[in-house]
Structure 1
């Protein structure tokens, strides 16, 4: 990384928390005292995502928007290779959606309050029973018209290659009765891999595939559907992000959550 890009990366790293606080505060004020519209308040996190990408020298291109009907509700599911997947989708995906986030984040001052007010959906991961209850609650909110983004791998890939999927995203789609949209984040690992602090300049290409319909599916079909989703996401990835032979397919079913 050149000295100029290093300086740029340091500047982005230092400014990102400040921007996050400012955007959270503005969204909170907007929701409490100004327009009081969840949809309109999304302009603040959208600006946040775009600004962080621009500060880091990251260009973003989105392909496949023709597959999306803005009037429909979806669960968007993609690979997770970098923190910049979040900035990319938040800043450059043009349609309304919400995040699923662990419930602990909603307790944070300002940031957590803003997440609650703009309609983000908490998920409890403390134990299997509470996780299933929060999954049912999330499914009910999605069924009422809130599209969400999920990373079925559960965490960032350590090497940039697509890993096995957990079946939770698919089960959520089945419960909510909505289609799943596969997505591929390409180039984000090169911008900021897991374990590195400073982002590098580059291009991220977000590819969107045709929705996978869940109509008629039952919870017992979740492993099969997770496999189909994994294949669909893999097809949207460049070679540097495609799964390695040992990483293909969904994770084995968890009996206690069946």
Structure 2
């Protein structure tokens, strides 16, 4: 990476945190005092995602969007190889959606209240009754019309390759009764792998699969369905992101 690109990337990284809080503040003001409309307020997180991508010279190419009904509710599931999965999807994915986020993030001043007001769905990832209750609440929100994106791996992959899926996403889909759409995030690991301090310019390739109906499934099917989702996402990935055993 050239010195000029390094400086630009450093500026983008340093600006990301204050930008996040600035856009959080604007979201809150808009929702509390101005338009008071959750859908219209998505302009702010969309602009936030695009701005970070543009500052880092990251382009986004999306294919397969024709599989989606613009008016339908979906659960999107994808691999998680980089922070740029979040920036790219938030900034450029054309279907309205909300995030599912761990409840601890909602405790962050300004950022947390903005997330809640913007429709982000909290989830308790601990064991026990609280986790079961939060899963039921999330399923109800999805049933009521909120599409969501979930990373079933639970964390970013260190080497960029797809890791095993946890069954929570499959269970949430079955409980909500909403079709699941696999999404492959390609080349984000090359832009900014886990542990990297600076991003590199590049292009993110989002590949969208066909919706998968869950109406005939029960909670007893969650593990088998989770394994199917894993294979569906793997089929949308470049060789460098697939598990070594599935390279073509």
- TM-score between both structures, scaled by the size of structure 2: 0.97
Question: Equivalences for 1:146-161 in 2 at 5 Å?
Answer: 146-161=146-161
More displaced stretch, 1-10 vs 28-37: 1-10
2:136 maps to what in 1? 136
Question: Would the aligned equivalents of 1:75 and 1:173 in 2 still touch at CA under 8 Å?
Answer: yes
2:170 maps to what in 1? 170
Partner of 2:39, secondary structure, is helix
Question: Equivalences for 1:175-190 in 2 at 5 Å?
Answer: 175-190=175-190
Question: Would the aligned equivalents of 1:76 and 1:148 in 2 still touch at CA under 8 Å?
Answer: yes
Q: Distance in 1 between matches of 2:129 and 2:155?
A: 21
Q: Distance in 2 between matches of 1:14 and 1:83?
A: 15
Alpha-carbon spacing, 1:144–1:14, altered in 2? closer, same or farther (3 Å):
same
Q: Distance in 1 between matches of 2:192 and 2:128?
A: 32
Q: Distance in 1 between matches of 2:240 and 2:129?
A: 38
2:232 maps to what in 1? 232
- TM-score between both structures, scaled by the size of structure 1: 0.94
1:199 maps to what in 2? 199
Q: Distance in 1 between matches of 2:132 and 2:8?
A: 43
1:218 maps to what in 2? 218
Distance apart, 1:126 and its partner CA:
2.9
Distance apart, 1:197 and its partner CA:
1.2
1:3-46 CA-to-partner distances (Å, cap 9, x unmatched) read 11211110011100111011100000000011111100000000
Q: Distance in 1 between matches of 2:168 and 2:161?
A: 20
Distance apart, 1:76 and its partner CA:
0.3
Partner of 1:60, secondary structure, is strand
Q: Distance in 2 between matches of 1:40 and 1:95?
A: 13
Partner of 2:125, secondary structure, is coil
Residue 30 of structure 1 pairs with residue 23 of structure 2:
no
Question: Would the aligned equivalents of 1:153 and 1:165 in 2 still touch at CA under 8 Å?
Answer: yes
Q: Distance in 1 between matches of 2:96 and 2:111?
A: 20
Residue 77 of structure 1 pairs with residue 77 of structure 2:
yes
Distance apart, 1:128 and its partner CA:
3.2
Question: Would the aligned equivalents of 1:152 and 1:169 in 2 still touch at CA under 8 Å?
Answer: yes
Question: Would the aligned equivalents of 1:76 and 1:149 in 2 still touch at CA under 8 Å?
Answer: yes
1:143-187 CA-to-partner distances (Å, cap 9, x unmatched) read 000000000000000100111101100100000000110000001
User: Structure 2: which 5+ residue stretches go unaligned?
Assistant: none
2:93 maps to what in 1? 93
Runs of 4+ that moved beyond 2 A: 126-129
Question: Would the aligned equivalents of 1:27 and 1:44 in 2 still touch at CA under 8 Å?
Answer: yes
1:54 maps to what in 2? 54
Partner of 1:142, secondary structure, is helix
Partner of 1:42, secondary structure, is helix
- Aligned residues: CA RMSD: 1.2
Residue 116 of structure 1 pairs with residue 120 of structure 2:
no
Q: Distance in 2 between matches of 1:11 and 1:128?
A: 43
Partner of 1:81, secondary structure, is coil
Q: Distance in 1 between matches of 2:117 and 2:231?
A: 36
Question: Would the aligned equivalents of 1:183 and 1:233 in 2 still touch at CA under 8 Å?
Answer: yes
Question: Would the aligned equivalents of 1:162 and 1:244 in 2 still touch at CA under 8 Å?
Answer: no
Question: Between Structure 1 and Structure 2, how many residues are aligned?
Answer: 247
More displaced stretch, 34-43 vs 102-111: 102-111
